[in-house]
């Protein structure tokens, strides 16, 4: 139980990678606030965590809205007593080629992915600074490292998250707060399940380990950053991508 007596907020935690992160943190001892726009699905994840013997609270929240973030962070802190870990996982895509991309497509992705990370980190940082302890983990993407046609908005948002992570790491280090990022590659989720078998095979050809990742692969990296095993690591980005992007 490497996270015994620790509490965590995980955004976008009702399914896919976010759900895997919430469950993995709970399996390792953490109490978890499950944040999502879909409260019904968040409740299901929270119920699963409670069955493990951990405390959990499901809260509806829109990370792009600062007032909503302040509300769910306040409630999570009241329910759990403190906030030790923040995982900024909530994210969206609106893929299209640059010349076809509408301003709304750009704004929506930047608002959720990048501004959402800013909103949540700012709100939680105040709590972490007072208690002089915190672990912030931002879920970026390999697209933020290498770019991808049709994802100018998504790539910009994820590259922004990586730069944001480094700046926050420098600001908060003196308060014993670390900030790190994870850049997942192609992970088996509802977003990749819609791809054809031929497309999946082409993706695998780009990956030295020759397979798509699983949500658990990402969750295990989050667990490392959230634990004291990573207490001397901050401002770093780990690509969980089977070797697709090597820096």
The set of catalytic residues is 154
Give the pairing type, strands 56-60 and 7-11.
unpaired
- For 13, half-sphere exposure in the C-beta direction (CA atoms, 13 angstrom radius) is 32
What contacts 205, CB < 8 A, 6 or more positions away? none
**Cα first-last separation, the chain:** 32
The dihedral built from the CA positions of residue 11, 13, 19 and 25, taken in this order, carries a sign that is: positive
The dihedral built from the CA positions of residue 185, 187, 190 and 196, taken in this order, carries a sign that is: positive
Q: Which residue has the tokens 């280090």?
A: 173
Q: Largest Cα–Cα distance of the chain, in whole Å? A: 52
For 122, counting Cβ atoms within 10 Å of its Cβ (0-12 exposed, 13-18 middle, 19+ buried), the class is: middle
CA distance 162 to 148: 16
CA distance 117 to 137: 10
CA distance 175 to 128: 8
């Amino acid at each position: 139980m490497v996270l015994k007596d620790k509490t965590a907020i995980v955004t976008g935690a009702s399914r896919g990678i976010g759900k895997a992160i919430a469950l993995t943190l709970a399996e390792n001892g953490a109490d978890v606030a499950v944040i999502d726009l879909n409260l019904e699905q968040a409740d299901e994840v929270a119920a699963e965590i409670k069955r493990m013997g951990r405390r959990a609270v499901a809260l509806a929240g829109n990370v792009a809205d600062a007032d909503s973030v302040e509300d769910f962070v306040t409630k999570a802190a009241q329910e759990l007593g403190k906030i030790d870990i923040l995982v900024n996982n909530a994210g969206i895509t609106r893929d299209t080629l640059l010349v076809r991309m509408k301003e709304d497509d750009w704004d929506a992705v930047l608002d959720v992915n990048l501004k959402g990370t800013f909103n949540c980190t700012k709100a939680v940082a105040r709590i972490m600074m007072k208690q002089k302890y915190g672990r912030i983990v931002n879920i970026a993407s390999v697209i933020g490292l290498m770019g991808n046609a049709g994802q100018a908005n998504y790539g910009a948002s994820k590259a922004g998250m990586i730069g944001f992570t480094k700046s926050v790491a420098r600001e908060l280090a003196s308060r014993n707060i670390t900030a790190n990022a994870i850049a997942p590659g192609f992970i088996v989720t509802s977003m990749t399940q819609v791809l054809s078998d031929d497309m999946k095979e082409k993706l695998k050809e780009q990956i030295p380990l020759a397979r798509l990742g699983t949500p658990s692969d990402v969750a295990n990296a989050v667990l490392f950053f959230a634990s004291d095993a990573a207490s001397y690591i901050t401002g770093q980005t780990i690509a969980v991508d089977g070797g697709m992007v090597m820096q």
